[in-house]
Structure 1
Amino acid sequence: MEKKIADIKLELESADITNIDAILEQYRADNRSGVVKLIAKYDKEKEKLQKERERSYEMRRFEREYGKEYHAICGIDEVGRGPLSGPVVACAVILPTNEEILYLNDSKQVSEKKREELYDVIMEKAVAVGVGVVPPSVIDEINILQATYEAMRVAISKLQVKPDLLLNDAVTIPGVAVKQVPIIKGDAKSASIAAASIVAKVTRDRLMVEYDKIYPGYGFAHNKGYGSKEHIDMLQKIGPTPIHRHTFIKNFVEEE
């Protein structure tokens, strides 16, 4: 007796796309149009998965290259250099060498939903993760570049495994006694830097959502402290909050 198409669909939906070949082969001889469409759909999903695996393999190029000499390779990135309010956040991540994590990319190229999913995967599978948060008061005091470097140094110091090589997104961090490799657009070229980019982005976004509850009206939950019209209008209407960067808002408000 032929299995119902609805049951085949359910079987395919319940299967792991990474190990679905045996199920697909079982139904390839079924000529019913519904089954043919299902097979075609999952063949396309398999093709997309293969392309992602190839992209992911390329994203680990630097890790493979330097992994011949170094054992604890750490990717570093930051978010929040441009906003008018909130901290700058940096992250340092050491990924496992023997486990594939798909869909890692520059956090700006990944949807919010996917970033949240990847955050959980990275936190679960990473060898070590360190996060550094530098507040607006320090940004105003030492400038955003120096604050960014400080956030990166803090992130490195919080790693439970000491790195012997740093892969950085385009910068060389002062005051760090570990070999560094700056990579231009590194968050789109290195899996480790991409992972750091995602963790830093999710961490900062979550902080800004919490700040939105404390300082409502500025739209922090969705503009994340960047200079949206809503944010600037509110800034000019009632003034800055304790999390605003005074050196960043001087073109929008007059402060005593």
Structure 2
Amino acid sequence: MEKKIKDIQQEYKEKDDLELPDFIEEYIRDGRPGVAKIIGQAKKRLDRLEQERQRLEVLRTYEHRYEDAYPMICGIDEVGRGPLAGPVCAAAVILPRDCEILYINDSKKLSEARREALYDEIMEKAVAVGLGFASPEKIDEVNILQATYIAMRQAIAELAVAPDLLLNDAVTIPEVSVKQVPIIKGDAKSISIGAASIIAKVTRDRLMKEYDAIMPEYGFAQNKGYGTKEHIEALQKYGPSPIHRKSFIGHFVECE
């Protein structure tokens, strides 16, 4: 008995990418226009998958360049240098050689849902992940650049496996003995840095949501501490919170 087209459509929706070739082979000779349409959708999805794999191979260019000499390559990135409130967060990620995690990219180019899904996959597949933070107080004390370096060094120190090489997003981290390769816009050019950018972004966003539950008047869950119009208005109405960076908000309110 022939399967109903709606059942084939549902079967297609439930297939993961690796199952698509067998699905196409099973139904390609069905002959019904409705099934042909579903097969067309499956083929387009396979084409997109192949394009993504090709993009991912380009994203491994730096890893391939150094992997023979440096087996444990670590990507480093940070998030939170610009906000008025909250810490700066850095992540260090070592991925397995030729690791395939589709859709890794600069975290700012991804939707929140995609970042969350990739966070889980990176945490599952990574050889090691380290996190580092610099508090608003530390940022005010030493300036944002030096605080970023502190967070990055902490992230490296938290790795369970020692890296042989660091691929950094644009910076060279002082007081680190491991060989470093700074890459301009590295979160969009290196799979390791891209992975680190996602881990850092999701970690910090989750933390800002926790702060929002404690101090909802500032809208931290939405603005993540950045200087949106609503955030600045709340800052002027309620005054600075304990997580505001005094060195960043002098243009908007007076700080003790």
Q: CA deviation at 1:213?
A: 1.1
Q: CA deviation at 1:164?
A: 0.7
Q: Distance in 1 between matches of 2:25 and 2:205?
A: 44
Task: Point out where structure 1 has 5 or more consecutive residues left out of the alignment.
Answer: none
Q: CA deviation at 1:13?
A: 2.2
SS of residue matched to 2:8: helix
Structure 2 residue 129 is the aligned partner of structure 1 residue 134: no
Q: Which amino acid aligns with 1:70?
A: Y
Q: CA deviation at 1:104?
A: 0.5
Q: Which amino acid aligns with 2:253?
A: V
Q: Write the deviation string for residues 189-212 of structure 1: whole angstroms up to 9, x where unpaired.
A: 000000000000000000000001
Q: CA deviation at 1:125?
A: 0.5
Q: CA deviation at 1:8?
A: 1.7
Q: CA deviation at 1:3?
A: 2.1
Task: Point out where structure 2 has 5 or more consecutive residues left out of the alignment.
Answer: none
SS of residue matched to 2:76: strand
Q: Which amino acid aligns with 1:68?
A: D
Q: Write the deviation string for residues 47-82 of structure 1: whole angstroms up to 9, x where unpaired.
A: 111100100111111111100211100000000000
> What TM-score do the two structures reach when normalised by structure 1?
0.98
Tell me which moved more, 34-43 or 95-104: 95-104
Q: Distance in 1 between matches of 2:75 and 2:255?
A: 39
Counterparts in 2 of 1:91-170, with a 5 A limit?
91-170=91-170
Q: Which amino acid aligns with 1:97?
A: R
SS of residue matched to 2:92: strand
Q: Write the deviation string for residues 65-113 of structure 1: whole angstroms up to 9, x where unpaired.
A: 1002111000000000000000000000000114311110000001000
Q: Which amino acid aligns with 2:229?
A: K
Q: Distance in 2 between matches of 1:241 and 1:2?
A: 65
2:174 corresponds in structure 1 to: 174
Q: Distance in 1 between matches of 2:153 and 2:29?
A: 59
Q: Distance in 1 between matches of 2:99 and 2:19?
A: 16
Counterparts in 2 of 1:1-256, with a 5 A limit?
1-256=1-256
Q: Write the deviation string for residues 212-236 of structure 1: whole angstroms up to 9, x where unpaired.
A: 1111211100100000111111111
% identity of equivalent residues: 64
What count of residue pairs does the alignment treat as equivalent? Answer: 256
